[in-house]
């Protein structure tokens, strides 16, 4: 009896001690799946997630400047590699949590055909994409156009956005007729939920590997480690896949 009681006390204190608040920096394209994963994770683990969504480049600068993030879910693999090398990430903690898919999307039904032939027609003013210097999805868009031999012809129609969410905003508001966005932004329950889109075949661009990294500030937090483990688990993986990512 006494033994059982003391065990319960130990378990209770353990639970309260390990209920962490985890500050994480998340790539803008992963916002929707992350909200869902965070809700599940909080329910399952008792930890609380405080997530900031934004561009990976900005997070890099902020983390270098001492921002209080414990985990980074980047939009690329270069940034986590760099942070790990520069000592802001925990060595060996890096892994690919999702492989992004690119989609050429328009909010107009039937505007983008299933083969992306719309790119060759000249009936649009603006093609939106995230700034290729900053965002891997932008770079993938450029590679796709290059592979199709259309880059030079379409360059004058580019409007480049600061990140993938702003690109979506340009297209969703109709100011740009079409644009390269992340499939996760328009994909729900196995299909493109609204408008029309061409899911770009992966062979047309380098794979968009998105890596997670445990940051030095999160080294001693059990919550951060638990979250990274959770991301590799079946529950999280099936959520990630449901937004059109590959794994």
Q: Which residues bind other proteins (CB under 8 A)?
A: 55, 57-58, 60-61, 125-126, 128, 131, 133-134, 158-162, 166, 169-170, 173-176
Pairing verdict, β 208-214 and 71-73: antiparallel
Beta carbon of residue 128, minimum distance to other proteins (angstroms, whole number): 7
Beta carbon of residue 162, minimum distance to other proteins (angstroms, whole number): 6
Taking residue 159's Cβ as centre, other Cβ atoms within 10 Å add up to 16
For other proteins, the closer of residues 105 and 170 by Cβ is 170
Pairing verdict, β 71-73 and 21-27: parallel
Cα–Cα distance list, 198 to 19, 104, 178, 195 (Å) = 43, 5, 11, 11
For other proteins, the closer of residues 10 and 61 by Cβ is 61
Q: Give the Cα separation of 148 and 103 in Å (integer).
A: 15
213 torsion bin: left (phi>0), alpha (psi -120 to 50), beta (else): beta
Beta carbon of residue 218, minimum distance to other proteins (angstroms, whole number): 22
Q: Give the Cα separation of 145 and 158 in Å (integer).
A: 12
Beta carbon of residue 99, minimum distance to other proteins (angstroms, whole number): 23
For other proteins, the closer of residues 157 and 237 by Cβ is 157
Beta carbon of residue 72, minimum distance to other proteins (angstroms, whole number): 15
**Token pair of 99, please?**
């492989």
Contact partners, residue 130, CB within 8 Å, separation at least 6: 137, 138, 141, 160, 161, 162, 163, 164, 166, 167, 180
Identify the helix (H) or strand (E) that includes residue 143: helix 136-148
Beta carbon of residue 160, minimum distance to other proteins (angstroms, whole number): 4
For other proteins, the closer of residues 79 and 93 by Cβ is 79
For other proteins, the closer of residues 118 and 176 by Cβ is 176
For other proteins, the closer of residues 60 and 198 by Cβ is 60
């Amino acid at each position: 009896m006494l033994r059982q009681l003391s065990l319960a006390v130990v378990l209770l204190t353990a639970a309260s001690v390990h209920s962490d608040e985890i500050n994480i920096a998340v790539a803008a394209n992963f916002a929707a799946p992350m909200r869902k994963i965070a809700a599940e994770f909080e329910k399952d683990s008792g930890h609380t997630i405080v997530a900031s969504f934004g561009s990976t480049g900005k997070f890099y600068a902020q983390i270098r400047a001492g921002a209080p993030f414990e985990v980074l879910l980047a939009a690329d693999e270069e940034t986590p590699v760099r942070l790990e090398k520069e000592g802001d990430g925990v060595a060996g903690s890096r892994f690919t949590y999702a492989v992004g898919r690119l989609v050429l999307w328009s909010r107009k039904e039937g505007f983008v055909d299933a083969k992306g032939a719309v790119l060759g027609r000249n009936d649009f003013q603006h093609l939106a994409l995230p700034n290729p210097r900053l965002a891997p999805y932008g770079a993938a868009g450029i590679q796709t156009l290059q592979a199709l031999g259309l880059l030079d012809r379409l360059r004058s129609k580019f409007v480049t956005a600061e990140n993938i969410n702003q690109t979506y905003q340009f297209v969703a508001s109709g100011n740009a007729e079409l644009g390269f966005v992340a499939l996760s932004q328009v994909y729900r329950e196995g299909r493109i939920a609204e408008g029309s889109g061409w899911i770009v075949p992966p062979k047309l661009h380098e794979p968009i590997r998105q890596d997670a990294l445990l940051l030095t500030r999160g080294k001693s937090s059990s919550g951060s480690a638990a979250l990274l483990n959770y991301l590799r688990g079946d529950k999280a993986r099936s959520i990630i896949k449901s937004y059109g990512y590959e794994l």
